[in-house]
């Protein structure tokens, strides 16, 4: 099965930069939700940028994402990662 390739989402000033430099395109809310739905179906990992103001969300697979490849080198990668899921 071919993996989702147009999977990284960029917002705000980052989106402006990508569009101006021909690195990305503007998409609708519906297209955004479809990308997230497909990423979930394919088991991709959603990784937001590491900042207070999120500029991007990558939908990564363990085959080509350098961050995930590095994490897989640890015996228990979940011990060195965190998620805000479920927190209030």
Measured in residues, the chain has a length of 88
Using alpha carbons, select from 52, 33, 29 the residue that is nearest to residue 41.
33
What is the pLDDT of the chain when averaged over all its residues?
Answer: 82
* Residue 14 counted as domain residue: yes
Name the percent of the chain lying above pLDDT 90: 31
pTM, entire model? 0.69
Structure tokens at 39: 């990423």
Neighbour order of strands in the sheet with 56-60: 9-10, 56-60, 45-48
Name the strand (E) or helix (H) holding 36: helix 29-41
Structural domain harbouring 37:
9-80
The per-residue pLDDT for range 1-22, each reduced to its tens digit, is: 567 777 889 999 999 999 999 9
Number of domains the chain is built from: 1
* Residue 76 counted as domain residue: yes
């Amino acid at each position: 099965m071919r993996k989702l390739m147009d999977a990284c989402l960029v917002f705000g000033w980052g989106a402006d930069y990508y569009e101006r430099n021909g690195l990305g395109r503007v998409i609708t809310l519906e297209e955004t939700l479809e990308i997230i739905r497909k990423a979930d179906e394919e088991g991709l990992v959603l990784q937001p940028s590491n900042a207070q103001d999120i500029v991007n969300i990558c939908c990564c697979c363990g085959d080509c994402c350098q961050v995930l490849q590095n994490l897989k080198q640890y015996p228990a990668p979940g011990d060195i990662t965190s998620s805000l899921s479920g927190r209030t």
